[in-house]
Structure 1
Amino acid sequence: MKRIFKFIEKYFFIIILLAVAVSLVYPNSFQWVLGEYNGINMLNLLLSIVLFTMGTTLKANDFANVFKNPKEIGVGISAQYVIMPLIAFALARVFSLNDALTVGLVLVGTVPGGTASDVITFLSKGDVALSVSLTAVSTVISPVLTPIITLILIGNQIHFSPVDMFISILEIVIIPIVLGLILNYKFPDFCEKLKDYLPAISSIVVCLIVAGVIGANKQAILTSSAIIILVIILQYFIAMILGFGVGYLAGMGKKQIITVAIELAFQNSGLSTGLAKTHFPSLSQATVPGALYSVWQNFAGSLLAYVFRKYV
């Protein structure tokens, strides 16, 4: 059984591509992902599962690292919530994206870092402890910063409630993480055993989310795929390049520079998809950038990890 889970974790980027292919051929197969069951929003539930698994891997020491490495943490978090949102907003303007795609792209930029960054950092021989700390801290402060930055960037052209978004992030992100932390604190040995299975479980959940969103927006993706895919690829690589630049200018070591670059480029795209669906229901295409970004960041990240490990 453990081998199966390790296989899923190792070849996640292939599995997510297969999920995308299935969702395009049989778009109704994953329709339930965007629906409700007994009044429960299935997309938000799936996101909560991913964040709960993240919580079970965290300990108080991960947050204590903020005080041990204040410069690296400060630089990484500042880049996360300044550079990434500006990249998204600038690309939306340069390519004249419609309101829905602009919302989706900006949300990809304003959400916290994704948990996949920790795995890619490990594979790239970066600073895993720093990556975990950056992911944890950016996630914990996201209920405040994500709504505020989103409001600043698009609030004058697209109406939404930042307070409602704050509450959503608390429900989807903070509560599951806290529950995971409590479980890890009370039953550390049990959570240690779970570590062999949780990455694969999170990977499967992310695949379901991506497949559900892409299946529901099949026609929109096929008609506007060239531009939005180009924008997603640019967003990823610009973030990666600027991450290297920021780390270098801050005087970090090679491992820390790699880590900051990966952390900046890897986003919690599933969360951006959930927020788009919840807070911009009239803009169905707003969920598309998050889904596409999830596919691309995991595919490109796996390839870049090989390059970093071998040549950097």
Structure 2
Amino acid sequence: MKRIFKFIEKYFFIIIFLAVVISLVYPNAFQWVLSDYNGINILNLLLSIVLFTMGTTLKADDFIRVFKNPKEISVGLIAQYAVMPLLALALAKFFSLNTALTVGLILVGTVPGGTASDVITFLSKGDVALSVSLTAFSTVISPILTPLITLLLIGNQIQFNPVDMFISIIEIVIIPIVLGLILNYKFPDFCERLKDYLPAISSIVICLIVAGVIGVNKQAILTSSAIIIVVIILQYFLAMLLGFAVGHLAGMDRKQIVTVAIELAFQNSGLSTGLAKTHFPSLSQATVPGALYSVWQNFAGSILAYVFRRYLS
């Protein structure tokens, strides 16, 4: 059984590609992902599962590192919540994206870093401790910063309630992480054994989310795919380059620079998709950028990890 989970973890980029193909050929197969069951939003539930698994891998020491390494953490967080949102806004304006795609792209830029960044940092021989701290802390402060920055960037274009978004992030992100932390504190040995399976579980959940969003928005993706795919690829690589620049200007060492670059490029795109569906229900295309970004960041990330390990270590 463990070998199966390791296989899923190792070849995640292939599995997510297959999920995309299946969702385009059989779009109805994954529509349940974006539906409700007995009043429970399935998409948000799946996101909570991913964040819960993240919580079971964290300890109090991961947050204490924030105070032990204030410079590196501060630089990473400022880049996360300043560079990425402004980059998303600039790309949306430059390519004249419609309102829905603009909202989706902005959300990709304003959500915290994704948990996949920790795995890619490890494979790239970066600073894993810094990556874990940045992911954890950017996630913890996201209930405040994600709604606030989103409001500042698109509040004059479309109305939404940042307080409701704050509550959503608390429910989807913070509560599952806290529950995972508690489980890890009470049963550390059990959580340690779970670590062999959690990356694969998270990968499967992310594949379901991506397949669901792409299946529901198949027609919209096919009609606007050329533009939005170009934008997503640019957003990813520009974020990576800006991360290298920020780390270099801050005087970080090689491992830290690679880590900041990865952390900046890897977003919690599943959360951006969930927020788009929950808070912008009239803009169905708003979920598309998050789904496409998830596919691209995991596919490109696995290749870049090899390049970083081979040529930058």
Give the TM-score taking structure 2 as reference length.
0.99
Rounded to whole Å, the distance in 2 between the matches of 1:174 and 1:67 is 20
Q: Provide the secondary structure at the position in 1 that maps to 2:303.
A: helix
Q: Provide the secondary structure at the position in 2 that maps to 1:251.
A: coil
Rounded to whole Å, the distance in 2 between the matches of 1:67 and 1:254 is 21
In structure 2, give the amino acid aligned to 1:45. Answer: L
Provide the residue aligned with 1:93 in structure 2: 93
* 1:137-286 equivalences in 2 (<5 Å): 137-286=137-286
Provide the residue aligned with 1:67 in structure 2: 67
Provide the residue aligned with 1:103 in structure 2: 103
Deviation at 1:105, TM superposition (A): 0.1
In structure 2, give the amino acid aligned to 1:142. Answer: S
Q: Provide the secondary structure at the position in 2 that maps to 1:206.
A: helix
Rounded to whole Å, the distance in 1 between the matches of 2:89 and 2:192 is 40
Give deviations 1:55-89, integer Å, cap 9, x for gaps.
00000000010011110000000000000000000
RMSD between aligned residues: 0.3
Deviation at 1:280, TM superposition (A): 0.1
Rounded to whole Å, the distance in 2 between the matches of 1:137 and 1:34 is 28
Rounded to whole Å, the distance in 2 between the matches of 1:94 and 1:266 is 22
Rounded to whole Å, the distance in 1 between the matches of 2:203 and 2:9 is 7
* 1:123-138 equivalences in 2 (<5 Å): 123-138=123-138
Rounded to whole Å, the distance in 1 between the matches of 2:30 and 2:214 is 9
* 1:26-45 equivalences in 2 (<5 Å): 26-45=26-45
In structure 2, give the amino acid aligned to 1:294. Answer: S
Flag structure 2 segments of 5+ consecutive residues without an equivalent: none
Deviation at 1:299, TM superposition (A): 0.3
In structure 1, give the amino acid aligned to 2:162. Answer: P
Provide the residue aligned with 1:293 in structure 2: 293
Rounded to whole Å, the distance in 2 between the matches of 1:230 and 1:158 is 24
Give deviations 1:75-130, integer Å, cap 9, x for gaps.
00000000000000000000000000000000000000000000000000000000
In structure 1, give the amino acid aligned to 2:196. Answer: D
Give the TM-score taking structure 1 as reference length.
1.00
* 1:295-310 equivalences in 2 (<5 Å): 295-310=295-310
In structure 2, give the amino acid aligned to 1:200. Answer: A
Q: How many residues are aligned here?
A: 312
Deviation at 1:43, TM superposition (A): 0.2
Q: Provide the secondary structure at the position in 2 that maps to 1:67.
A: helix
Provide the residue aligned with 1:117 in structure 2: 117
Rounded to whole Å, the distance in 2 between the matches of 1:242 and 1:201 is 31
Give deviations 1:139-174, integer Å, cap 9, x for gaps.
000000000000000000111000000000000000
Q: Provide the secondary structure at the position in 2 that maps to 1:114.
A: coil
Deviation at 1:51, TM superposition (A): 0.2
Rounded to whole Å, the distance in 2 between the matches of 1:98 and 1:184 is 44
Rounded to whole Å, the distance in 2 between the matches of 1:268 and 1:132 is 14
Q: Provide the secondary structure at the position in 1 that maps to 2:113.
A: coil
Give deviations 1:192-235, integer Å, cap 9, x for gaps.
00000000000000000000000000000000000000000000
Deviation at 1:27, TM superposition (A): 0.1
Structure 1 moving runs of 4+ over 6 Å? none
Provide the residue aligned with 1:55 in structure 2: 55
Rounded to whole Å, the distance in 1 between the matches of 2:127 and 2:158 is 39
Rounded to whole Å, the distance in 2 between the matches of 1:299 and 1:157 is 33
In structure 2, give the amino acid aligned to 1:254. Answer: R
